[in-house]
Copies of this chain bind each other. A is one copy, B any other.
C-alpha cells in the first residue's frame, strides 16, 4: 500500500517548522539582517537543507509573508460586519495584536524596509494596503447604507486613517511598550470616530 500522504505530510511539517522559525528571524532582524544559516540552525536542519525547500532567501520571505497572512485569516469578520460593528471589530484586531508582538513586529520591520522600491516585500506591502483599504472602506459604506453613518463621508480617507492609526500605534508600542497603551488609545480613536460619523 502506498502511503500517499506520508512523504507530503512530513515535508509539510518540515516546511512549516522552517516558516515559523524564519518568521521569528525576519521579525527580529528584518529581511536584510536575517541569516539563512541561523534560521536553518534554529529549524534543526542545515542551510543547504533549508534551501532545498525554499530556493533562495527572497522566496523564503515571500512564503513567510503569505504564511503570516494565513495565520491572520482571523480577520475578525471585518468583511462580514459593517458600520459601527466593523469599527469595533478593528478595535478587537488591535487588542488581539497586542497579544502577538512577534507577528506585529514582523509586519512593522518588513513594512519599514519595504518602502524602498526593489525590496522583495514591496509588492506584498502595496497589495496588502490596497486590499485593507478596500475592505475597511466597504465596511464604512455599509454603515452609511444602514444609516449608522452620515452620508457623504469619504470612506477611502477614513480607511486610510484607520489603517495608519493601527500601524503608527504599533510602532510606538513596539518601541516603548510600557509607555504606549496601543489598545486603549486606538479604542479612543474608534469612539471619537463613531461620534463624528453619526448622521
Contact between A160 and B171, CB atoms less than 8 A apart: no
- A165: which B residues are within 8 A, CB to CB? 161, 164-165, 168
Which of the 9-residue segments A12-20, A40-48, A188-196 touches chain B? A188-196
Contact between A30 and B113, CB atoms less than 8 A apart: yes
Q: Which residue of B lies closest to A174 (CB)?
A: B115
Contact between A109 and B113, CB atoms less than 8 A apart: yes
Tell me the count of chain A residues lying within 8 A, CB to CB, of chain B.
46
Q: Is A70 located at the chain interface by the 8 A CB criterion?
A: no
Q: How far is the CA of A160 from the CA of B167 in the complex (A)?
A: 12
Which residues of A from 109 to 160 have beta carbons under 8 Å from B?
A: 109-116, 122, 125-126, 129-130, 154, 157, 160
Contact between A109 and B105, CB atoms less than 8 A apart: no
Q: Is A169 located at the chain interface by the 8 A CB criterion?
A: yes
Copies of this chain per assembly = 2
Instruction: For the complex formed, measure the closest distance between the CB of A79 and the CB atoms of chain B, giving whole angstroms.
Output: 20
Which residues of A from 22 to 71 have beta carbons under 8 Å from B?
A: 28-30, 32-33
Residue-wise interface mask of A (170-199) relative to B, using a CB-CB cutoff of 8 A (1 in contact, 0 not): 011011100110001100110011011000
Q: What are 23 inter-chain pairs, A to B, with CB distance below 8 A?
A: A28-B116, A29-B32, A30-B30, A30-B113, A32-B32, A108-B115, A109-B112, A110-B112, A111-B171, A112-B113, A115-B174, A122-B175, A129-B176, A129-B180, A157-B188, A160-B172, A160-B180, A161-B165, A164-B168, A164-B171, A164-B185, A192-B196, A195-B196
